[in-house]
Chains A and B, each alone.
Chain A
């Protein structure tokens, strides 16, 4: 099994998986706490529509994914701020509309394009050096922004109005968070795919949520879980010759249920009942 690590493609995919795992699980903490889970799902599908349009028109797919992703989160954020519509309704409409666009763009392609489906289902074992550099660059931007604004991000996740009332530029920080969610989704498209990236944002943070009552511990647990599941999933996928995206997500899901079973919060509740 150790010889796996000597292959260039394997080193690239493990590195890509670790980066994406770290990235998704970090941003996931704020997504879960701020209640933006559905926004993550919607953004992923919008980004995929961007990829499809890119392939159809011969434009750079990742750039198109970013434009579509950013447009979706900004519209969502704007709608929430104006209070015109419930967040789940607006994102639900954008979610399905962008998915319809993606299907339309794929339908308009004259030939079957396997690469497009790579972005839908993820193919971390096929990550090129150039893509790895893009992933690394965007990861630095996202993780750097989170580090720089961590205290504000925690505060708006706790209570946005209270944060604003006590002197945090809360609305701008909220849009920063939405932007970082979109960038994370774009970075992760090639690795876990548009359908499963949402799981990588949601599951590690939710698993960590079961295990602790401290914000900082929660974040570290989430990152640890995200990176281990991504790397573990890639290894499993190459050993058993199964698709990498599902391997990562199913491993994370398994860990989630184990955490729910052994959660100190859950035990506390059952003690309270008896």
Chain B
């Protein structure tokens, strides 16, 4: 992590939303190339807005700035966007769409290819490599809708990898998966971060799942409450500001937030 280099994503007093409805307020945050950053916060805290902003789908309101790859986010060109591999929230995509696994992953090549160009043998190979990275190469001709939730998440991660991105942006990748599959998906993301040197932005409810894996945590609730190494962010006095009385920290240091608690024995 070369902290002296330019940040790959740079929020500078950026506010997002519509006049009267502020989703994120006065965010200043730098994300360096090669970092693994977890974004946490309660429902409606602006996590998905942060995601849309990084994708260049939302520009900051007057006064603030957001730069991605040293480019103002509202001037993001298509080839910039292709450098961000994005895994949307489960349920956003119609999982019964008539599409095979390989066809899904090939879509990851489309943005990078640009208009008027058809995928070549090289793109095909990139897509197959991406499938191999997530351990799904044996399912290339399966129907996407026939796979389990965890397998579908892997395919969507492969789709993001096929873009050959610099940044991997994951919006609640473990929601709706069983606990073992959740661990497998987060482990896969960590593995890809280490093996491919990807900058990872992982948005999640599940603090315990990622606290030991990320370089930094960003705690949001409309405003940015804290950003730093997990040990500095996950302090009761900081967390209680955001989660209030919904927060329970067990003797074994497991953080439980009402509504999202899992069964720890």
Contact = CB atoms under 8 A, between A and B. Distances in A.
A58 interface: no
Contact of B98 (A149, A166, A168, A209): A209
B84 A165 contact: yes
A115 interface: no
B143 A213 contact: yes
B15 to A, nearest CB: 21
A162 B104 CA distance: 12
A117 interface: no
B81 A166 contact: yes
Interface residues of B, number: 37
A159 B87 CA distance: 12
A148 B116 CA distance: 6
B220 to A, nearest CB: 20
Of A169, A209, A212, A216, most buried by chain B (CB within 10 Å of CB) is A169
Interface string B126-147: 0000000000000000011110
A214 B144 CA distance: 9
B34 interface: no
A164 B57 contact: yes
Contact of A167 (B78, B92, B103): B78
Interface in A70-93: none
A152 B110 CA distance: 7
A213 B102 CA distance: 12
Contacts of A169: 78, 115
A154 B107 contact: yes
Contacts of B100: 213-215
Contacts of A164: 55, 57, 81
Nearest to B114: A167
A151 B123 CA distance: 13
Interface in B88-114: 88, 92-94, 97-100, 103-104, 107-108, 110-113
Interface string A153-186: 0110011011111111100000000000000000
Contacts of A218: 98
Contacts of B79: 167
B117 to A, nearest CB: 9
A216 B112 CA distance: 21
B250 interface: no
B58 to A, nearest CB: 11
Interface string B22-50: 00000000000000000000000000000
Contacts of A151: 107, 110, 113, 118-119
A154 B118 CA distance: 13
A259 interface: no
B57 A213 contact: no
A87 B252 CA distance: 52
Interface string A132-159: 0000000000000000110110110011
Nearest to B100: A214
28 contacts: A151-B110, A151-B118, A158-B93, A159-B92, A161-B92, A162-B86, A162-B92, A163-B110, A163-B111, A164-B55, A164-B57, A165-B81, A165-B86, A166-B84, A166-B108, A166-B110, A166-B111, A166-B160, A166-B163, A167-B110, A167-B163, A169-B78, A213-B98, A213-B144, A214-B99, A214-B103, A215-B98, A216-B103
Interface of A: 33, 148-149, 151-152, 154-155, 158-159, 161-169, 209, 212-216, 218
